[in-house]
């Protein structure tokens, strides 16, 4: 068995004296593990950093075997990502989310979203928006997608500013007004037609994290006996600090 694919490094663990088991999210073969001979050595260490993109050749005698990887770097992001605290937390959190996906199940939309998110970590606000959208996409891929296209109460597609914490459906301003204190806020960057803006407020970002965080916790993590990763909280706190520092300058 042999295939070649693009991949993004999610994690590495040492195996034996000199090898490593590398976990990739690949474009065409999903989340996939493989053994890299010499992967524990200093020569390959810069390549095998989370967030790097690689060209991967996987070989095994049988499809169900672990197999071996031969990897070549195509986009070495790790040095840039390790230079900022929000990016370090963000990559760690993204990898933990990707591990919720079943192994060897192609997820091309998740791959595209992850690649786009990693490429925009230099802008802290855009990084936060991308990470929230990644969480939203993960909910959809895991079977718990939110219906943000029309009002759950009236069917209208206009003026959607709330989300029901029970159903995950959008709610319009008028329909939601009597229960506004019990509804989640739908941030502008998740509304139809407003995604092209980039002047999101800190409250918009907090609303986005509260929205995706609630449904991830209730529908995905708690049933598995898990909670949000420390890296998620670290990312959010780093974003708040960096945006406050920038606003003060």
CB 171 within 8 A of CB 156: no
Comma-separated ranges of CATH 1.20.1440.120 domains in the chain: 84-248
> Can you identify the CATH homologous superfamily of domain 84-248?
Recombination protein O, C-terminal domain (1.20.1440.120)
Hey, CA dihedral for 21, 22, 23, 25, is it positive or negative? Answer: negative
Distance CA 5, CA 26 (A): 6
Of the chain, the percentage scoring pLDDT greater than 70 comes to 98
pTM of the model: 0.94
Helical (H) or strand (E) element with 113: helix 108-119
Helix 108-119 with 85-98: angle, nearest 10 deg = 170
Comma-separated ranges of CATH 2.40.50.140 domains in the chain: 2-76
Q: What residues are paired with 156 via a beta bridge? A: none
How many Cβ atoms from other residues are within 10 Å of residue 182's Cβ? Answer: 11
The CATH architecture annotation of domain 2-76 reads: Beta Barrel (2.40)
What's the pLDDT tens digit per position in 139-181?
999 999 999 999 999 999 999 999 999 999 999 999 999 999 9
Helical (H) or strand (E) element with 109: helix 108-119
Average pLDDT over residues 42-71: 96
CB 163 within 8 A of CB 185: yes
Query: Which range among 22-26, 71-75, 81-85 shows the weakest confidence by mean pLDDT?
Result: 81-85
Does residue 223 surpass a pLDDT of 60? yes
Structure token digits, residue 8: 């993004």
Residue 245's pLDDT band (cuts 50, 70, 90): confident
Average pLDDT over residues 188-204: 78
Residue 193's pLDDT band (cuts 50, 70, 90): low
């Amino acid at each position: 068995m042999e295939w070649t694919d693009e991949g993004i490094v999610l994690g590495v663990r040492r195996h034996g004296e000199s090898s490593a088991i590398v976990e990739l999210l690949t474009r065409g073969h999903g989340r996939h593990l493989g053994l890299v001979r010499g992967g524990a050595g200093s020569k390959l260490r810069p390549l095998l950093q989370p967030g790097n993109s690689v060209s991967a050749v996987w070989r095994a005698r049988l499809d169900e075997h672990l197999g071996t990887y031969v990897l070549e770097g195509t986009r070495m992001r790790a040095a840039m990502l390790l230079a900022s605290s929000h990016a370090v937390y963000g990559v760690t959190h993204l990898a933990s989310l990707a591990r919720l996906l079943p192994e060897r199940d192609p997820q091309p939309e998740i791959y595209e979203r992850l690649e786009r998110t990693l490429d925009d970590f230099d802008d802290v606000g855009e990084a936060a928006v991308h990470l929230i959208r990644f969480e939203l996409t993960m909910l959809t891929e895991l079977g718990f997608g939110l219906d943000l296209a029309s009002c759950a109460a009236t069917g209208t597609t206009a003026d959607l500013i709330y989300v029901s914490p029970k159903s995950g459906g959008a709610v319009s301003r008028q329909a939601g007004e009597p229960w506004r204190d019990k509804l989640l806020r739908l941030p502008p960057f998740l509304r139809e037609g407003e995604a092209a803006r980039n002047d999101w407020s800190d409250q918009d970002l907090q609303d986005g994290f509260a929205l995706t965080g609630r449904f991830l916790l209730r529908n995905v993590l708690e049933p598995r006996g898990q909670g949000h990763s420390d890296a998620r909280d670290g990312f959010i706190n780093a974003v708040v600090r960096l945006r406050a520092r920038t606003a003060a300058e």
